[in-house]
Amino acid sequence: MTEVCSTCGLQKTLCVCGQIEKEQQKINVRTFRRRFGKIVTIVAGLENEKQAKELVKTLKRKLACGGTFKENEIELQGEHTKKVKQTLLEEGFNEKLIDA
């Protein structure tokens, strides 16, 4: 028996809910300086927690930096604004809705 998506009613293999959700999210990428002069890149606006946690793993691996997901934001150690935007585009997010 095949699994059916609870949102759209299609089979899990045909479901496009995740992609549609990615394309509609307004994402804000910014940096700020923490204690002792450390720069942190913040990615805010991700609505799906499971999807955000997967994105943290991808970003940390591609950017070779430390980071975490807390309070509905991704925190990455260092200045990575341009690289984060490029990675988000590769992951399928809408370029017009990414504010970097």
pTM assigned to the model: 0.78
* pLDDT of the residue at 83: 94
Q: How far is residue 35's CA from residue 54's CA, in Å, rounded to a whole number?
A: 28
Tokens of 53: 């946690």
Q: What is the mean pLDDT of residues 63-87?
A: 93
* pLDDT of the residue at 68: 94
* pLDDT of the residue at 36: 93
Domains and CATH numbers, the chain: 26-99 (3.30.780.10)
Tokens of 19: 């992609």
Residue 37 Ramachandran class (φ > 0 left, ψ -120 to 50 alpha, else beta): left
pLDDT-based confidence at residue 6 (cuts at 50, 70, 90): confident
* pLDDT of the residue at 59: 94
Q: Where are the alpha helices (DSSP H) in the chain?
A: 17-24, 49-63, 81-91
What is the per-residue pLDDT across 27-51, written as a single tens digit (0 to 9) for each?
Answer: 999 999 998 999 999 999 888 888 8
